[in-house]
């Protein structure tokens, strides 16, 4: 293999875990990035990146956010001709890895990927959050969203969202839904439903999403929210019944399932986001280069088909568009959390 063959290096490190290197490794080129204090250190150069870039994922390997982080790193490596190293730093409800991004040098050589927890945590944790979501980071691009589908156990006597709401109103407190924990995106989806529909339903928090669907399939809880790829086979097999999906359009994998807006409840609109960020202060031309190359791959390149095939909705936004989405979601989830009296466990 020649030194000029493009490869992408991924290293998975769960804090102090040993590195795991993928077969895609691209040798670094050039003399390295100037040290801090060097007259050229803060100047965005056409040669960026000229050394390895670290991409922090605030989850262990295997999570959806990890998968998208690796896809972004590979897309950048191929477009920019440089090594991108994925580092997994889970824990603290994503705050450990995200804080590591926010406190890194603003030189463009430490990046991060975030999901909806990034916009939920300000309202959930308040002053306990170890960073300022709106001030300590530079948005790069909203890579994709992942529509949720609301599913019910077949024993629930409701074939439509309207019938479900009518049932919940007729039997207040009789229907329960599970989620991966207090303040998780599926929990807030259920809370949005409760608030928008004016119904009384019981939230059952679990430690992790897998157990939720085991109990849902067994009828221990009556409904839940999950991503379309996670639940599509259960729906098609008749083990669960889909009532509505979040997002502006119907899910490609579930074309017969209406959106919440189509079903008459537009206020249930959570579609988990997945986006790339950098520390605040990274030169704008560096942010622009990262955003442009990733967005091009998401909108026009092979990455678009990969994302769609996994059930994600490709976006590929500009930095300004992603910043606007972050600000809107922070405000929205803070309101939902306050109205619901939700407290972090």
pLDDT digits (tens, 9 = 90+) for 100-132: 999 999 999 999 999 999 999 999 999 999 999
Q: How far is CA 51 from CA 83, 97, 185, in A?
A: 7, 21, 36
Structure confidence at residue 34 as a pLDDT band (50, 70, 90)? very low
Structural domain of 318: 53-146+272-340
Output the furthest CA–CA distance in the chain (Å, rounded). Answer: 70
Digit-coded pLDDT (tens) for 5-21: 333 343 443 333 333 33
Domain limit, last residue, from 229, 263, 297: 263
CA angle 333, 337, 342 (to 5 degrees): 150
Specify the DSSP element, H or E, that contains 242.
Answer: strand 241-245
Residue with tokens 């077949």, as numbered in its chain: 154
The strands making up 313-314's β-sheet, listed across from edge to edge, are 84-88, 53-57, 110-115, 273-279, 137-145, 313-314
Residues 172 and 138 in one domain: no
Q: What is 12-40 written as a DSSP string?
A: --STTPPP-B-S------SS-PPPTTSTT
Structure confidence at residue 22 as a pLDDT band (50, 70, 90)? very low
Q: For position 8, what pLDDT does the model report? A: 39
Residues 244 and 202 in one domain: yes
Residue 131's contacts (CB-CB under 8 Å, 6 or more residues apart) are 95, 98, 99, 102, 103, 137
Q: For position 275, what pLDDT does the model report? A: 98
Residues 110 and 172 in one domain: no
Residues 91 and 164 in one domain: no
Residue 39 has pLDDT above 70, yes or no: no
Domain limit, last residue, from 215, 246, 263: 263
Residue 297 lies in a domain: yes
The count of structural domains within the chain is 2
Least confident of 163-172, 279-288, 302-311: 302-311
Q: What length does the chain have?
A: 345
Residues 140 and 61 in one domain: yes
Residue 31 lies in a domain: no
Burial of 320 (0-12, 13-18, 19+ CB in 10 A): exposed
Name the average pLDDT for the chain: 87
Residues 156 and 246 in one domain: yes
Digit-coded pLDDT (tens) for 198-255: 999 999 999 876 789 999 999 999 999 999 888 999 999 999 999 999 988 899 899 9
Domain limit, last residue, from 243, 263, 283: 263
Residue 42 has pLDDT above 90, yes or no: no
Q: For position 191, what pLDDT does the model report? A: 97
Residues 288 and 140 in one domain: yes
Residues 328 and 279 in one domain: yes
Q: For position 230, what pLDDT does the model report? A: 87
Average pLDDT over residues 57-82: 95
The strands making up 241-245's β-sheet, listed across from edge to edge, are 202-205, 176-179, 223-227, 148-152, 241-245
CA–CA gap between residue 130 and residue 116 (Å, rounded): 17
Residues 173 and 246 in one domain: yes
Residues 152 and 243 in one domain: yes
Residues 256 and 330 in one domain: no
């Amino acid at each position: 293999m020649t030194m000029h063959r493009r490869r992408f290096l991924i290293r998975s490190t769960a804090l102090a875990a040993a590195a795991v290197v993928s077969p895609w490794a691209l040798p670094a080129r050039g003399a390295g990035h100037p040290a801090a204090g060097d007259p050229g250190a803060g100047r965005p150069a056409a040669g960026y990146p000229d050394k390895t870039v670290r991409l922090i994922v605030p989850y262990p390997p295997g999570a959806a956010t990890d998968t998208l982080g690796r896809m972004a790193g590979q897309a950048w490596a191929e477009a920019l001709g440089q090594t991108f190293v994925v580092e997994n730093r889970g824990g603290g409800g994503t705050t450990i890895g995200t804080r590591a991004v926010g406190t890194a040098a603003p030189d463009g050589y430490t990046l991060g990927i975030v999901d909806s927890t990034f916009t939920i945590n300000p309202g959930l944790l308040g002053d306990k959050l170890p960073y300022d979501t709106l001030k300590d980071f530079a948005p790069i691009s909203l890579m994709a969203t992942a529509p949720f589908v609301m599913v019910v156990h077949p024993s629930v006597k409701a074939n439509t969202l309207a019938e479900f709401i009518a049932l919940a109103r007729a039997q207040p407190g009789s229907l329960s839904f599970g989620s991966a924990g207090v303040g998780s995106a599926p929990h807030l989806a259920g809370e949005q439903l409760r608030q928008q529909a004016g119904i009384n339903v019981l939230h059952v928090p679990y430690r992790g999403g897998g157990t939720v669907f085991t109990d849902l399939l067994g009828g221990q809880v009556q409904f839940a929210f999950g991503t379309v790829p996670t639940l599509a086979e259960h729906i098609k097999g008749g083990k669960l019944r889909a009532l509505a999906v979040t997002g502006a359009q119907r899910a490609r994998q579930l074309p017969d399932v209406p959106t919440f807006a189509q079903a008459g409840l537009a206020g249930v609109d959570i579609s988990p986001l997945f986006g790339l960020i950098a520390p605040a202060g990274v030169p704008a031309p560096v942010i622009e280069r990262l955003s442009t190359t990733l967005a091009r791959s998401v909108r026009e390149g092979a990455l678009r088909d990969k994302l769609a095939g996994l059930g994600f909705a490709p976006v590929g936004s500009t930095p300004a568009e992603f910043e606007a989405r972050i600000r809107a979601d922070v405000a929205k989830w803070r309101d939902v959390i306050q109205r619901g009296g939700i407290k972090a466990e």
